A and B are shown apart, each in its own frame.
Chain A
Amino acid sequence: MSDNLPIVKIENLSVNFPAKGGLPFAKKKYIQAVTDVSLEIHKGETFGIVGESGCGKSTLANAMIGMVRPSLGKVTFKDKDLFSLKRIEFKEVRRDMQMIFQDPFSSLNPRFSVYQIISEPMYIRGGFTKKEMENRVLELLKLVGLDEKDLYRYPSDFSGGQKQRIGIARAISLNPDLLICDEPVSALDVSVHAQILNLLIDLQEKLNLTYVFISHNLAVVKNVCDRILVMYLGKVMESGSTKTIYKNPLHPYTNALLSAILDLDIKREKTILKGDIPSPIDPPKGCRFWQRCPYAMRGCKDIEAPLIEVEPNHFVACHKISGFTEEQIAQELDRVLVHHV
Chain B
Amino acid sequence: MSNILLKLRNLKVIFPANQGIVRAVEGIDIDIAKGECVALVGESGCGKSVTSLAIMRLLNTPPALIDVKEINLDGEDISKYSETKMQTVRGKQISMIFQDAMTALNPVMTVGKQIDEVYLKHNNISKQEARKQTIEALRLVGIPEPESRAKAFPHQLSGGLRQRVLIAMAFACMPKLIIADEPTTALDVTIQAQVLNVLSQMQRSHNVSLLLITHDLSVVAHTADLVYVMYAGKIVEKARVEDLFKKPHHPYTEGLLGSIPRLSDSKKHFIQIPDSVPHPMFKPSGCYFHPRCKYVTDKCKELMPPLVKIDKDREIRCFYPLNVDKEGKL
Contacts and interface: CB of A to CB of B under 8 A. Distances in A.
B190 A257 contact: yes
Interface in B224-263: 241-242, 245, 255-263
Contacts of A258: 263
B222 A262 contact: yes
Interface stretch (B32-40, B203-211, B265-273): B265-273
B269 A262 contact: no
B193 A260 contact: yes
A194 B271 contact: yes
SS class, residues of chain A in contact with chain B? helix
A270 B194 CA distance: 11
Contacts of A304: none
Contacts of B273: 191, 194-195
B277 interface: yes
B215 A189 contact: yes
Given A257-B189, A262-B196, A189 B264 contact: no
Interface residue tally on A, bucketed by range: 35 or more
Contact of A201 (B219, B241, B269, B277): B269
Contact of B217 (A190, A194, A217): A190
Residue from B196, B197, B270 having most chain A Cβ neighbours under 10 A: B270
Interface in A192-214: 192-195, 197-198, 201
B189 A217 contact: yes
Given A52-B188, A266-B222, A273-B194, A191 B262 contact: no
A222 B43 contact: no
A264 B260 contact: yes
Contact of B160 (A246, A256, A276): A276
Contacts of A189: 43-44, 215, 276-277
A264 B221 contact: yes
B74 interface: no
B297 interface: no
- The range of chain B's interface size is 35 or more
A79 interface: no
B218 interface: yes
A194 B272 contact: yes
B267 A223 contact: yes
Interface in A256-279: 256-266, 270, 272-273, 276-277
Nearest to A205: B268
Contacts of A264: 217-218, 221, 245, 257, 260, 262
Most chain A beta-carbon neighbours within 10 Å: one of B188, B256, B274: B188
B42 to A, nearest CB: 10
A228 B256 CA distance: 27
Interface string B181-217: 0000000111111101100000000000000000111
B285 interface: no
B259 A262 contact: no
Contacts of B222: 262, 266
A220 interface: yes
A265 B261 CA distance: 11
Contacts of A217: 189, 261
A197 to B, nearest CB: 5
A191 B255 contact: yes
A190 B256 contact: yes
Contact of A193 (B160, B190, B241, B259): B259
B218 A263 contact: yes
A266 B190 contact: no
B166 interface: no
Contacts of B189: 52, 216-218, 257, 260-261
A190 B259 CA distance: 7
B191 A191 contact: no
B39 to A, nearest CB: 13
A220 B43 CA distance: 19
B123 interface: no
A198 B270 contact: yes
B106 interface: no
Contacts of A246: 263
A161 interface: yes
B263 A218 contact: yes
A268 B269 CA distance: 25
Interface string A172-204: 000000000000000001111111011001000
A286 to B, nearest CB: 20
A162 interface: yes
A12 interface: no
A220 B263 CA distance: 8
Contacts of B190: 52, 256-257, 260, 272-273
Contact of A223 (B43, B44, B219, B270): B270
A264 B262 CA distance: 7
Output the residue of A159, A191, A197, A261 with the most chain B CB within 10 A.
A191
A53 interface: yes
A258 B273 CA distance: 26
Contact of A190 (B192, B196, B216, B274): B216
14 contacts: A52-B189, A53-B188, A159-B277, A191-B276, A194-B271, A194-B272, A219-B262, A257-B190, A258-B263, A266-B242, A270-B193, A272-B193, A273-B194, A276-B191
